[in-house]
Amino acid sequence: MSDKASCSGGEVKSLHYEDDNAKNGEHQQEEEKEEEKKDEEKEEEKEKKDEEKHDDKVIEAGDYSNMEAPSSLKSLCRYVETTLLPEDKLLQFTIDKEVFGGDRYTFLLPEDITQFAGMEEIGATVVAVYMRYLHDVLKQANMCSMVGFIDPATVSANSGTIADRSRLVAAQLQKTDGEQIFMMPYNPG
């Protein structure tokens, strides 16, 4: 009888031990779930704060009077609001051969202009149009021979392989006399 008691006592201990482990496992799972919940809540709060910060920077239609910007940029934003958006239009540009080495037609969407005005990330097209403008300014000052431009679309991370982009830049630089300063915007991706 004493053997049975000791055996059953041992079995009871092992059952209690297993039961405790199961409870600890459940408790750990609950703690992990709570931590995941807290992490998700923190992430949601962070995203909400980021959106609020972003909302502060975005220029909404009609909010150009409070914008700290040159009057010409404010006028352009008003033009987008009053003409381009209601009529579903865009701005078209011709980029002369002198700028990038070949004639090119491009356009800007109203969103491109509001992103530029709102100091948001802009695309290669906006940069190319600005480079065209700089070329026009240099042309008026008779300084085109001093500065060269490399098309941002040909060197962007979305355009071919690194080797292709490198060859394009090398070819462009070899065409010069070595006295020019080149403007080549670069975004690695």
**Is 64 within the bounds of a domain?**
no
Q: Read off the pLDDT band of 70 (50, 70, 90).
A: confident
| Domain ranges, residue 148 | 88-183
**Is 26 within the bounds of a domain?**
no
Q: What is the pLDDT, as a whole number, of residue 9?
A: 43
Q: What is the pLDDT, as a whole number, of residue 25?
A: 60
Number of domains, the chain: 1
Q: Read off the pLDDT band of 184 (50, 70, 90).
A: confident
Lowest mean pLDDT among 10-19, 26-35, 116-125: 10-19
Q: What is the pLDDT of residues 75-105, one digit of tens each?
A: 888 888 888 888 888 889 999 999 988 888 9
Task: Name the residue among 57, 175, 90 with its Cα closest to residue 66.
Answer: 57
**Is 20 within the bounds of a domain?**
no
For the CA atoms of 73, 77, 82, 87, what is the dihedral angle to 10 degrees?
Answer: 110
**Is 2 within the bounds of a domain?**
no
Amino acid at 119: M
Pair 80, 46: CB distance under 8 Å: no
Supply 75's token pair. Answer: 């006028």
Q: Which residues lie across from 107 on neighbouring strands?
A: 92
Cα distances from 150 to residues 47, 53, 117, 171, in angstroms, run 37, 34, 24, 11
pTM: 0.60
**Is 59 within the bounds of a domain?**
no
**Is 137 within the bounds of a domain?**
yes
Among left, alpha and beta (phi > 0; psi -120 to 50; other), residue 88 is left
Helix axes 110-117, 124-140, angle to 10 degrees: 80
DSSP alpha helix (H) spans, 58-109: 71-79, 85-87, 97-100
**Is 45 within the bounds of a domain?**
no
Pairwise CA distance, residues 21 & 23, whole Å = 5
**Is 167 within the bounds of a domain?**
yes
Pair 122, 112: CB distance under 8 Å: yes
